[in-house]
Amino acid sequence: MITVCRTRTLQALRADLATAEEATAAARSEAAGHRQEAGTAIATAVRAETVAEELRARLATAAAEAAGEGA
């Protein structure tokens, strides 16, 4: 009887371990996806800031040219 209980306990523990390992693998996969998404978002933000800086420079140049023409 004790052997049967131990066997069932071991089987239950193995099943719990398998479930935990699957959950861990899924969580790692999800975390990797989030890291990739974050990297993409950061790269997009950097590109957007670069474009904004270029537009500011063009605007400043255009404003200076307009001021020079008005004088």
User: What CA–CA distances, in Å, run from 49 to 37, 42, 46, 55?
Assistant: 18, 11, 5, 10
- Tens digits of per-residue pLDDT, 41-52? 999 999 999 999
Residue 71 has pLDDT above 90, yes or no: no
DSSP string, the chain: -HHHHHHHHHHHHHHHHHHHHHHHHHHHHHHHHHHHHHHHHHHHHHHHHHHHHHHHHHHHHHHHHHHHHH-
- Tens digits of per-residue pLDDT, 9-24? 999 999 999 999 999 9
Residue 8 has pLDDT above 90, yes or no: no
Give the gyration radius of the chain's Cα atoms. Answer: 31
